[in-house]
Amino acid sequence: MFHLLQSSGRDGKTNIPAKGLSGEGYEGHYFWDTEMYMIPFFNNNSPNVSRKLLEYRFGILDKSRQRALQMGYKKGALYAWRTINGDECSAYYPAGTAQYHINADIAFSIKKYMEVTEDKEFLIQFGAEMLFETARFWIQLGGFVERKGNKFCINCVTGPNEYTAMVNNNCYTNLMAKENLKYTYEVAVWMKDSYLEVYKDLSKKINLEENELFLWKRAADQMFIPYDEKLKIYMQDDSFLNKEVWDFKNTPKENYPLLVHYHPLTIYKYQVCKQADTVLAEFLLNHKFSKEQKKRDYDYYEAITTHDSSLSMCIFSIMANEVGYHKKAYNYFMKTARMDLDNIQGNTKDGIHAANMAGTWMGIVNGFAGMRTHDGVLSFTPYLPDKWEAYSFKVNYKNRTINVNVNKTGVEYKLLYGANILIIDSGNKIELTK
């Protein structure tokens, strides 16, 4: 928490480098690490910092519009995969620019920030424009493909797993783009209903046409999501299961991380994951998948994941807790928490792994305590690892501060600040009062 708090920009013009302020790795660049790993921490601890981090994204919206244009798209904005001033700084496009999911990650982060804070002023002043421009980009990038039942397909992209590149219909990307389009449509409708003049001004500013809204909804409703009926798992992308599984048995320990020992073109031929991809989508869009589905996907993808990225183990810890693998959850958590203390990735000399540090917080709050939010309701499914006596933390949610304390005798929730609130504890509704 110290690293996160001290590393974050707070002026709306700066953000959080992947290595915090601790080293030269990644040249101080900002990535999706902020929106998907660090902003969740700030949302529940210092939402004013989340707002500033998102304002930074608004500040580089013009550069992102230019980038979309440069890539050949007349409408919308494409955020840079890695950047400081908004210009794309990734030198290797298959694992850089092709990670278009950054647009959906930013939109998702706006949605989550809004859910926690209900900060309408932010949405009107900054959020809506970013949402409209990112939604527009998906419409330009993808298309309705006849051979796929006229579903909306997004081809030639790279998902979060950087060991598979330039594929059609990456499951994570399509699920998150769907969410981006759906939420943007809802925000546009809400603005038209409640703030018509502001909506009109914004539409004029960005030349938004009325039929674009319907296209967003149609593309979201018709989004293609790759699923394998035989294995009953979500496929990481259209062609992922057609590949051989990487030969893990004959890969010596010293050949990890794979990216420094094998050519990318070799790695891309196989089923092998550097980090959570489909499993991450199932954490983020949790309520959309059954527990059995999450378990099947967890089993499949865990077996082929190397965790060569520091963004991986925290997500596997959280999802292991959810599907009932508590021992695995604990082991992944300990590696997450100790990553830079023990130099587990072998590169702490280049700086700490800031997203992983946020992942440590998430590992306790979303992992062991099972915190989720859905439809504006906060829920917990607390679990205490055998080796622990207790753990406790505070969360901010909708202008309340709640203390959660999990110990050998059970769980205690205390409303420290704000009005009474209904929460869910292991499936049971309870009201927290002062």
Q: Which range, of 28-36, 219-227, 367-375, 415-423, touches ligand IFM by CB under 6 A?
A: 28-36
Side chain identity at residue 3, one-letter code:
H
233 binds ligand IFM (CB under 6 A): no
Shortest Å distance, C-beta 194 to ligand IFM: 36
Question: For residues 44 and 124, what is the distance between their CA atoms, to the nearest angstrom?
Answer: 22
Place of tokens 């009932």: 324
d(C-alpha 96, C-alpha 31), whole Å: 10
Nearer Cβ to ligand IFM, position 31 or 361?
31
For ligand IFM, the binding residue among 311, 329, 334, 384 (CB under 6 A) is 311
Residue 162 interacts with ligand IFM (CB under 6 A)? yes
31: exposed, middle or buried (Cβ count in 10 Å: 0-12, 13-18, 19+): buried
Nearer to ligand IFM by Cβ, of 33 and 237: the residue is 33
CB of 355 to ligand IFM, least distance (A): 6
Among 38, 258, 355, 406, binds ligand IFM (CB under 6 A): 355
The whole-angstrom distance between residue 81's C-alpha and the CA centroid of its chain comes to 14
> Which one, of 396, 276, 330, 384, lies nearest residue 36 by Cα?
276
Residue 162 a catalytic site member = yes
Residue 107 CA, chain-centre distance (Å), reads 10
Min dist. Cβ of residue 28 to ligand IFM (A) = 12
Query: Which residues, at least 6 apart from 186, have a Cβ–Cβ distance to it below 8 Å?
Result: none
**Contact flag: residue 31 with ligand IFM (CB under 6 A):** yes
Q: Which residue is catalytic, options 129, 162, 212, 282?
A: 162
* 344 lines the binding site for ligand IFM (CB under 6 A): no
- Which positions ≥6 away from 152 have C-beta within 8 Å? 142, 143, 144, 145, 218, 219, 220, 222, 223, 224
Nearer to ligand IFM, 23 or 385 (CB): 23
The region of 26-34, 166-174, 201-209, 229-237 touching ligand IFM under the rule CB under 6 A is: 26-34
The dihedrals phi and psi of 31, each to the nearest 5 degrees, come to: -130, -170
Binding flag, residue 100, ligand IFM (CB under 6 A): no
Residue 281 found at the interface with ligand IFM (CB under 6 A): no
Q: Which residues are catalytic?
A: 162
Which residues would be at the binding site for ligand IFM (CB under 6 A)?
18, 26, 31-33, 160, 162, 309, 311, 355
